[in-house]
Structure 1
Amino acid sequence: MLRALKTAALGMTAQQLNVDVIANNLANVNTTGFKKSAIEFQDLLYENLQLGDRDGRRGHENPVKLQIGLGSRPINTFRSFTRGDVVQTGNSLDLAINGRGFFQVQLADGNYAYTRDGSLKINSEGYLVTNSGLKIVPEIAIPDNVSSIQISENGLVTVMIDGENEPQEIGQIELVTFMNPAGLLARGGNLFSVTEASGEPIFGLPNEQGFGGVMQGYLEKSNVDVAQEMINLIVAQRAYEINSKSVKTADELLALINNLKR
């Protein structure tokens, strides 16, 4: 009975973590560029009560083993980088990536991070920055007296300056991909950092092979499917309940054993 109590307790812990992950997905359903996660589990070691070896007493081999599992454990959280819905905003500094790729930004400590959030702004120095004030890399400075900003699907940035008849090229947006984007480390603020699992960043231009194009005036929303997450939440809740029922059942059996001598 003690085995059942421990196994059920591990199941309850696993499902609690599952609910935590689902809750985070639902909390970020309106977060620009957010990528949903799903927790993955593995079964634990098994107790071998009877192996499938040849039984000398009966003269034949047992076709199967007698094993009792000892529960499950969370092994990782897999982040899905499927593209979310793209919505039109009409803002010339809103950018969505139509395909693979990330924008690269520079952090305050000089390191780099990567994001799918293309809601850009212009800071007091004229540089294109994220909502958090981080400069995109390579840096793009917007001149004074600009009447319009155009960003092509290939990432070329041109502006019309008051008093001039021809557009002026001021920069080129670059994108970054990874061999294993699911291995990136989420650090909050719609940012990801490189890890050994993700591999080193691969740089390229929008619309090149392996890189998506840039869509001006659009934003990529979260890829969270609310209906599916609600289903997942119900399944996790029921799994938690049935594990708690296992605890109660094991406790009742222990109580029966304790009362046998009365």
Structure 2
Amino acid sequence: MDNSLAIGLSTQELLRKRMDVTANNLANMNTTGFKVEHLVNHEITERPARAAENPHDITFAQGWQLQRDMNTGSFSQTGNPLDMAIDGNGFFEVEAPNGDVFYTRDGEFSMNPDGMLVTRNGYLLRGEGEVLDGETLLADGVPIAIDPAGGELVINKDGSIMQDGAQIGQFKLKTFEMPAALEKVGNNLYVRGEQEPIDADVRIAQGFLESSNVSPIVEMTQMIEISRAYQSVAKLISNSNDMREQAIRKLAQVR
């Protein structure tokens, strides 16, 4: 395989991955709390010693990892008392039916038939434990239960949950040293991987939802640039093949 074909195929594979990431960003532009992602490249061949003298030397590259932008999206008011938005770098801690623990910024919550606060896919919200004067007032990690027939539900900025003037729960709000490095598992959920959760210094906005931080204009522009680059590479490969065929035909005519 000659250099032009190898470089062309490598570039097309990289552009395909970039297009997949960009398309996923656009598909989730209206997903609550979604964080935009971009593909980070890295060289897979060593740069020659003369690279400083000739910065235009070509090296092979591949998609290395996804870089996630954790900046907070804009808030939209819904008026629903069960909608929550996190102002700051933090996550709600939720529990799947099999006991696995996940983290999310999607605060579109509801009550299940048992009166438990759940995410849109039915995962239970986990509460933070609280101890006062040696007495446990709230157990750690237990689901947050709400009385459907109770009074007005008020969520304070610190994540404490009040009903009928009494505290009935506390959101378990966590963050990480490297939030962007959390592993995404789908359904707007993350797992912590090797990181340990730490208490998050954030504020809760009741009756609001966090929009995604995707910029449609930026992503559409990138999609156009990627498409044009892919077409240019395809033309390079086609021209290279034509030149190779012409060379073979001329060599075959030599007697």
- Length-normalised TM-score, structure 2: 0.86
Q: In the alignment, what sits opposite 2:7?
A: 7
The correspondence of residues 236-251 of structure 1 with structure 2, limited to 5 A, is 236-251=226-241
The structural deviation recorded for 1:259 is 2.9
Q: In the alignment, what sits opposite 1:224?
A: 214
> SS where residue 152 of structure 2 aligns?
strand
The correspondence of residues 160-171 of structure 1 with structure 2, limited to 5 A, is 160=164, 167-171=165-169
Do the aligned partners of residues 203 and 228 (structure 1) sit closer, same or farther apart at CA in structure 2, a change above 3 Å counting? same
- Post-superposition Cα deviations, 1:2-57, rounded to whole Å, max 9, x if no partner, equal 11101101101110111111111111111111111101112331586xx66xxxxx
CA distance, structure 2, for counterparts of residue 152 and residue 257 of structure 1 = 76
How many residues of Structure 1 are paired with residues of Structure 2 in the alignment? 236
The structural deviation recorded for 1:174 is 2.5
CA distance, structure 1, for counterparts of residue 112 and residue 123 of structure 2 = 9
Q: Rg larger in 1 or in 2?
A: 1
Match for 1:101 among 90, 98, 101? 90
Q: Does 1:75 align with 2:64?
A: yes
Q: In the alignment, what sits opposite 2:146?
A: 142
Q: In the alignment, what sits opposite 1:55?
A: none
Structure 1: stretches of 5+ with no match in the other structure: 53-62, 161-166, 205-210
The structural deviation recorded for 1:255 is 2.1
Do the aligned partners of residues 142 and 67 (structure 1) sit closer, same or farther apart at CA in structure 2, a change above 3 Å counting? closer
CA distance, structure 1, for counterparts of residue 98 and residue 116 of structure 2 = 18
- Post-superposition Cα deviations, 1:65-115, rounded to whole Å, max 9, x if no partner, equal 799635321101111111111100000010000111000001122121000
Match for 1:233 among 223, 239, 243? 223
Q: Percent same amino acid among aligned pairs? A: 33
Match for 2:107 among 114, 118, 135? 118
Do the aligned partners of residues 144 and 65 (structure 1) sit closer, same or farther apart at CA in structure 2, a change above 3 Å counting? closer
CA RMSD of aligned residues (A): 2.0
- Length-normalised TM-score, structure 1: 0.84
Which amino acid in the other structure matches residue 84 of structure 1?
G
CA distance, structure 1, for counterparts of residue 124 and residue 47 of structure 2 = 55
Which amino acid in the other structure matches residue 27 of structure 2?
A
Which amino acid in the other structure matches residue 132 of structure 1?
N
Q: In the alignment, what sits opposite 2:81?
A: 92
- Post-superposition Cα deviations, 1:175-215, rounded to whole Å, max 9, x if no partner, equal 1001111111111111000112xx211124xxxxxx22000
Which amino acid in the other structure matches residue 200 of structure 1?
E
Q: Does 1:34 align with 2:23?
A: no
CA distance, structure 1, for counterparts of residue 9 and residue 2 of structure 2 = 11
Q: In the alignment, what sits opposite 1:57?
A: none
- Is contact 1:46–1:69 with CA below 8 Å preserved after alignment? no
Q: In the alignment, what sits opposite 2:188?
A: 190
Q: Which runs of 4+ in 1 moved over 3 A?
A: 63-70
- Is contact 1:8–1:71 with CA below 8 Å preserved after alignment? no
Structure 1 range deviating more: 126-135 or 141-150 = 141-150
